Amino acid sequence: MRPAITMSGLTTSTFMKTIFAAHRIYTPIQELEDAFVVVDDGRIREISQRPYAEIPADAKIVDFGDAILAPGFLDIHIHGGAGVDAMRAPASEMPRLNKFLASHGVTGYFPTTVAAPIDTTCAALQRLAETIESATESAVESADAGDSPAARPLGIHLEGPFLSHKRRGVHPPENLVAPTVEIFDRLWQAARGHVRMMTIAPELPGALEVIAEAARRKVCVSIGHSDAEMPIAQQAARAGARHATHTFNAMRPLDHRDPGILGEVLTDSALSADIIADGIHLAPAVVQVFLECKGPELAVLITDAISATGMPDGRYQLGPIEVDVKDGKCTSGGSLAGSVLTMDRAVRNITQFSSWSLKDAIRAASLNAARAVATMNDQGILAPGAKADFVVLNARGEVLRTIVGGRGAGS
Query: Given this model, what pLDDT does residue 54 score?
Result: 72
Does residue 251 sit in helix, strand or coil?
strand
* Model pLDDT, residue 228: 98
Q: Is 254 domain-assigned?
A: yes
CA proximity to 364, closest of 295, 265, 270, 284: 295
pLDDT-derived band at 380 (thresholds 50, 70, 90) equals very high
Q: What is the distance between the alpha carbons of residues 270 and 57, in angstroms, rounded to a whole number?
A: 46
pLDDT at 52: 67
List Cα–Cα distances, 79 to 37, 126, 157, 183, in angstroms: 33, 16, 9, 22
Phi, psi of 194 (to 5 degrees): -90, 5
Rounded mean pLDDT, 76-96: 97
* C-alpha torsion sign, points 121, 125, 126, 131: positive
pLDDT for 146? 56
What size, in residues, is the chain? 411
Q: Mind listing the pLDDT tens digit for each residue in 251-302?
A: 999 999 999 999 999 999 999 999 999 999 999 999 999 999 999 999 999 9
pTM of the model: 0.94
* pLDDT at residue 343 tops 90: yes
Per the domain annotation, does 216 fall within a domain?
Answer: yes
CA distance 197 to 12: 33
- Percent pLDDT > 70 in the chain is 91
The reported pLDDT for the residue numbered 12 is 42
- 28: preceding bond cis by omega (within 30 degrees): yes
Our CA dihedral for 68, 281, 90, 130, rounded to 10 degrees, sits at 70
405 torsion bin: left (phi>0), alpha (psi -120 to 50), beta (else): left
Residue 117 and residue 119: Cα distance in Å, rounded?
A: 6
The domain tally of the chain equals 1
pLDDT at 145 over 60: no
Task: Give the model confidence (pLDDT) of 97-113 as tens digits.
Answer: 999 999 999 999 999 99
What amino acid positions are annotated as catalytic residues?
304
Distance CA 333, CA 339 (A): 15
> pLDDT over 90 for what percent of the chain?
87
CA distances from 76 to 53, 346, 380 (A): 36, 14, 12
Residue 44 lies in a domain: no
Give yes or no for a contact between 129 and 156, defined as CB atoms under 8 angstroms apart.
Answer: yes
* 58 within domain boundaries: no
Please report, for the domain that includes residue 116, its CATH number.
Answer: 3.20.20.140
Identify whether 76 is part of a domain: yes
Q: Which residues form the domain of 204? A: 72-380
pLDDT digits (tens, 9 = 90+) for 158-187: 999 999 999 999 999 999 999 999 999 999
Question: What local confidence, expressed as pLDDT, does residue 59 receive?
Answer: 82
Taking only the tens place, the pLDDT of each residue in 20-70 is 999 999 999 999 999 999 999 999 999 998 766 677 777 889 999 999 999
Q: What is the pLDDT of residue 57?
A: 73
Q: How far apart are CA 200 and CA 129, in angstroms?
A: 21
- Mean pLDDT (the chain) is 93
